[in-house]
Structure 1
Amino acid sequence: MNGDLLRLYGTNEREPESRTLVAGDLSVTLQDGNLRTLRFRGHEVLRAVAFLVRDKDWGTCGAEIADLQIGAAGPGFSVSYKARFTAPSGAHLDCAITITGTEKTVTFSADCVSDADFETARAGFVVLHPVIGVAGQPVTVCHGDGGVEHAHWPDQIEPWQPFKEISAITHQVAPGISAVTEFVGDIFEMEDQRNWTDGSYKTYVRPLALPWPYSVPKDEPFSQKVVVAIKAAADAVPAAGASGAIALHLTPTKQRFPEIGVGLRPECLGQERAALGILQAIGARHLIAHFDPGAGHGLPALKGYAELAERSGLKVTLEVAVPCKAPLNAEMAELAALVRKAGLVLDTLFVCPAVDRQSTPPGSVWPDCPPLADVYAAARAVFPRVRLGGGMMSYFTELNRKRVPGDLIDYVSHCTNPIVHAADDLSVMQTFEALRFVVSSTRAIYGEKPYRIGPSTIPMRQNPYGSSTKDNPSGCRIPMANVDARHNGQFGAAWTLAYATTVATTGLEVLTLSTLAGSFGLVAGEGEAVAQGKLRPLARVLARLGALTGQAVHAVETSRPDAVLGLASEECLLLANITPEVQTVILPSTPRAVTLIGEDALPVAGQVSLPPYGCIEIVL
């Protein structure tokens, strides 16, 4: 079994055990002391209710749980336990937790006290509402002053908080079913978590306009509570079950599949030289070369990129974090001189002020930064015949909050990362629900402007929300980690293919979902499921995607987009299973060949079984 875990997840670590609690038509999953996927008659009411503690850099402080008791409470259920959260300083926040559920209500309470001043960016409840079937729909928000707001959930992704000073939220779950979620004990507000590709709207404690990090004083207790109440008509129809084979519907589009990019990093130059042959094997067309003078990158990095470009024959985008410490004309002239001295020929230049890699949360003071028009003008002056890209080196969140002047650049670009807030398997795979809103929101802002995404990977290459990414030497599932073992396993392959399927019909110019080497790369390291130096599973997926470059794309709808995602060309269908269960898919026609990507051919038939996180290529 450990071999299966390593092959699937790149690690033998298991996710925490979960348990389903049921009271009549209401059910919820208990995992790590928090609640996941609250359902009523099978309909998803809330994605999660959790009591979370973040450190000063927004990293998650794990809870040490003791005295867990789960039992019946009349026709419902009850849970109680003690949770201890430990800050990097060693201070402890101790919380007594109680959860009760009846046939139409769930109550989650926390009574907390710290044994020393506890530095935190947030300590308290977070409630996640789903986005599918909710985005754009009516919602009623009760405020702390007694006011009532009748509004709609954001459809396009809202850059700032859509609702503040929240005491309760009422929304329709399904025809004849509504839910009231009440927040007690502090000031709550909401953010549109789709900014970070989380598949949810998040209501959280403590307004971001207040200073952070802040200190929970020693021996000063506080309490919070969340209450969810369901209202349902007697004839409200249960949700359709998730069992049975999955149906597909293919629709031709006028879009063509983008070119595949691969990221380069100066610290990986030696490994990149050794792995250079992989670029041709996966059909890559672009090298996305990262260059940050503030991190000490200089002429040696550019010479390395020039060597890799000459040997591979691929086009180069130089991704530059502009220091903006000296006059822009001088900084750009120095960059141009280094590029010429290195012999590096650029296809495109992407520039982003270094300071814009860090997020500016609501209520914060924007850091000093030259006008973007001046940055772009300085770049064009010294690279007059090179296409210029702008946007954010970080994530859509930052682009949505600081929208670059699209008329001054030749293309817009950003990245995404699926482990900003949560790193469990389900949350990572649910990010595709939000990714489709990310690309549609970008298109709403920038129209038909040429558009690129990436490098986007499961591990986080840079943390816009704190001083650094999180080291992860044991390969655990932790948010904001600079190493994530799942990148190395079949999970990473399924995530990569599912990402491509989600953005395939949006007219992207270049899609970059890996670097060449290192922890974000295509080549296995020591102790992985495949031999050191061999291709990771995601590389074999990228090879299939590279073969589609320039081909007309068919949109693929599946009857279970929470389980299987796909894309197609005229002759090829690619499917990804984004779940840990076997999924059976009915094919639109009897194929000529079926191959489990990276493994063996399968029998040709009218339906196919996708193993956990399996990726399949079907020749139509």
Structure 2
Amino acid sequence: MRHELRAGPLSVALEDGTLRYVRAGGREVVRQVYVAVRDRNWGTVPPRFTMYDVRQAADGFEARLAAETAQGDIDFIWEGVVTGTADGALEFRMRGEARSDFLRNRIGFCVLHPDTLAGERVVVASEDGETEGAFPERISPHQPFFGMIALRHGVPGASGLEVEIAFEGDLFEMEDQRNWTDASFKTYCTPLSRPFPAQVRRGDVVEQVVRIRVTGADEAGAGGDASKEAPVRLRAERRTVGALPPLGLLYDAVADGPIGPDAAALLKALPIDFLYAAVSLDDAAWEAALDGAAAGAAALGLPLAIAATAAADDRAAERLAACCARLARSGTRLRAFAAFGAGAVTTAARAEAARAALDAAGCGAVPLLGGSRANYAELNRAAEAGTMPYDRLDGVCLAMNPQVHAFDRASIVETLPMQALVVANAREAAGGAPIHAGPVTFTQRVNAAATGEAGARTHDPREREPFAAAWTLGSLRRLAEAGAASIAVCDAVGESGLVATDASGAAAPTPAYRRLFAALGPYRGALLGAVQCGDASVEAIAPLSAAGMRLLVANVSDAPRAVRLEAPGAVGFAANREGAEAPVLSEADGTISFELQPYEIARFDLNY
């Protein structure tokens, strides 16, 4: 349900009730405006639209919406009116009413500002007057602005263009969503200083308005993003930009079952260097979980990286000692060991207890890691507070996933460049220590912000689809080029596994297995060639061999994309694609032209 709309010098998409990609003169000025209903654990309740009337006029548009947001004990309805006028103004007005009693953390508007505004000056208006500041360049651990009723700012590279955004119905504040790998700064209603979760009673009403005005725009450039119509320029060079680090797969023996012989045979064919297992030592069956992880690693002939959580302070040292001793007795090869407490980050006490446990078990040479098992937000805040025990660690581990705040494909793809930024920020905070990316998961596994029972691990059916394969390619590229010391990504087996398995033991390789990991098979630890993608809809990774390059190119968008590949110095190529037309080599300039289907991964073996 997507409509491309115009309002004077502005272009904007209205998709599933969300204003997306507000552009002026072809430049993005606002990423999104949407109504959010968030439960007590910050889960987003999706709307079901009962009215969706969109009308485009010659010089503006109007959309009338009505939605029901019902999930569990939450039952909330709202109506919205979205207008765009010829003078470059947008207004989104909403009125909602609760039809049940429930707890909520937030109801109302969120406005996303693109990450490209980092460093841009901004004037913020509050009830006390105006203050000047800037969108943070380094990822900010806390809110940069509070108590906002309006803000105005310029746009990088567009002299004279100014964006004004005003809010009614609540006080608003801003957070740096790059902490969760979202490519945005978020202005949201209801300050976090107010107690939450808050009680909502049946009949309670929420009314809010967001107004956006853009001045100084060139109306001639309001036609949207013209780059989507031209071929994407892709340049691949043998100049190196890093190396493919050791890769690990995630394994939960309790949830996903044993790794059977068929799955093991498939997984052994991949360039995988270790198995990663998270074990809660507070669970009654932690020994079974640990033994299962060790058995899985043995079945694959791989070392094991353990992330152990011991929440109870009075028994943490004892449990960590028992864990390390059990691993030592089993003869398991340990690649690394990380320890966490009740929160999402490693504390000095857990690091000290884990080091003592490893030493006592004769595993003193095993690297001790610590960091965040949830998101960079928690690590960033601990680093600022001075509570992250970097001096007791051999490296920093950092979990990340693309679905903390948004779940649509476009938002998921937008997280990819932020993964590299998070690694760079984490390394700087840790004084240059190695950053181990993982677990890198497609869905959120640890909800550090939950105020109640967070529920069981969820599976996303897209993990078995080409979309997840294309996204994972982009993730490997971004993290490897950022210098990650290792990457633990993708479940090995199970419902979300790289090799999909079920209770019968049947094993089936997913698109990510076939088109990505199998293609990387001969390139374990290879140097990476430099790739330059002219558009965010295309991702590529280029491992090198002595005389060639294997270029894997992914379309991470939902539409076909024409690509023109430049490969200076290449004297020939072979293409490997599933059921697609052969690429065309231009004799005139040596470029290779081809069209990528949505979420396709194409393979080119280039000879030099």
Q: Please say if residues 305 and 344 of structure 1, whose CA atoms lie closer than 8 Å, have aligned partners that are also in contact.
A: no
Tell me which residue corresponds to 2:597.
611
Q: Cα gap change, 1:305/1:271 in structure 2, threshold over 3 Å: closer, same or farther? A: closer
Q: Choose which of 376, 380, 396 in structure 2 pairs with 1:400.
A: 380
Q: Residue 144 of structure 1 is aligned with which of 124, 127, 149?
A: 127
- On the 8 A contact 2:528/2:541 being kept in 1, the answer is no
Deviation at 1:46, TM superposition (A): 1.0
Q: Given that residues 281 and 319 in structure 2 are in contact (C-alpha distance below 8 angstroms), is that contact kept between their aligned partners in structure 1? A: no
167 and 608 in structure 1: CA distance in 2 versus 1, 3 angstrom threshold: same
Query: Are residues 1:262 and 2:236 paired?
Result: no
For residues 56 and 163 of structure 1, the distance between their equivalents in structure 2, rounded to whole angstroms, comes to 24
Q: Deviations over 1:316-342 (max 9, x none)?
A: 112211234325442332222222333
Inter-partner Cα distance in structure 2 for 1:75 and 1:269: 56
Partners of 2:351 and 2:370 within 8 A in 1: no
Matched with 2:369 is 389
- 1:601 CA drift (Å): 9.4
Q: Partners of 1:357 and 1:178 in 2: how far apart?
A: 40
Whether the 8 Å CA contact 1:594–1:604 is kept in 2: the answer is no
Please tell me whether the aligned partners of residues 291 and 297 of structure 1 are also in contact (alpha carbons under 8 angstroms). no
Structure 1 residue identity aligned to 2:507: G
Question: Secondary structure of the equivalent of 1:291?
Answer: strand
Structure 2 partner of 1:302 = 290
| Contact 1:357/1:464 (8 A) holds in 2 | no
Contact 2:9 2:220 in 1 (8 A): no
After TM superposition, give the deviation of residue 599 of structure 1 in Å. 6.5
1:65 corresponds to which residue? 49
Q: CA deviation at 1:568?
A: 4.3
1:272 partner SS: coil
Measured in 1, the distance between the counterparts of 2:288 and 2:415 equals 37
Q: Deviation of residue 198 (structure 1)?
A: 1.1
1:437 alignment counterpart: 421
- The partner residue of 1:153 within 117, 135, 139 is 135
Give how far 1:235 is off.
Answer: 8.8
Q: Gaps spanning 5+ residues in structure 2: where?
A: 586-591
In structure 1, the residue matched to 2:162 is: 178
Match of 2:84 in 1: 101
Which residue does 1:341 correspond to in 2? 329
Q: Equivalents in 2 of 1:71, 1:246: separation in Å? A: 32
For 2:563, the equivalent position in structure 1 comes to: 585
2:28 is matched with which residue? 44
After TM superposition, the structure 1 = structure 2 runs for residues 106-255 of structure 1, keeping only pairs within 5 Å, are 106-132=90-116, 134-146=117-129, 148-173=130-155, 174-232=158-216, 241-250=227-236, 252-253=239-240, 255=242
- The aligned counterpart of 1:489 is 465
Partner residue in 2 for 1:318: 306
Aligned to 2:486: 510
Is 1:24 aligned to 2:8, yes or no? yes
Change (3 A) 1:601 1:534: farther
Aligned CA RMSD, in angstroms, stands at: 2.7
Deviation sequence 1:266-314 (CA, Å, 0-9, x none): 2156442341122321111111122212233433333333333334221
CA distance in 1, matches of 2:577, 2:258: 25
SS of equivalent residue, structure 2 residue 368:
strand
State yes or no: 1:272 paired with 2:271. no
Query: Is contact 1:176–1:235 with CA below 8 Å preserved after alignment?
Result: no
Equivalent residue number for residue 550 of structure 1: 525
Question: What residue identity is the alignment partner of 1:330?
Answer: E
Question: Matched residue pairs, number?
Answer: 579
Q: In the alignment, is the contact (CA less than 8 A) between 1:595 and 1:617 conserved in 2?
A: yes
> Which residue in the other structure is 1:524 paired with?
500
276-285 or 543-552: bigger deviation: 543-552
- Residue 294 of structure 1 aligns to a residue whose secondary structure is coil
Task: Identify if the C-alpha distance between structure 1 residues 345 and 86 changes in structure 2 by more than 3 Å, giving closer, same or farther.
Answer: same
Structure 1 residue 247: Cα displacement:
1.7
Shift of 1:180: 0.5
Task: Could you tell me which runs of 5 or more consecutive residues in structure 1 were left unpaired when the two chains were aligned.
Answer: 1-16, 359-368, 472-480
Secondary structure of 2:231's aligned partner: coil
Q: Deviations over 1:17-59 (max 9, x none)?
A: 1112222221222222221221222221211100111112222
Q: Which of 389, 392, 412 is matched with 2:396 structurally?
A: 412
* Distance verdict in 2 for CA 1:373–1:533, change over 3 Å: closer
Contact 1:396 1:416 in 2 (8 A): yes
Q: Is the counterpart of residue 281 in structure 1 residue 256 in structure 2?
A: no
* 2: CA distance, partners of 1:280 / 1:67: 52
Residue 162 of structure 1 and its aligned partner are, at CA, apart by 1.2
Do the aligned partners of 2:473 and 2:539 also contact (CA within 8 Å) in 1? no
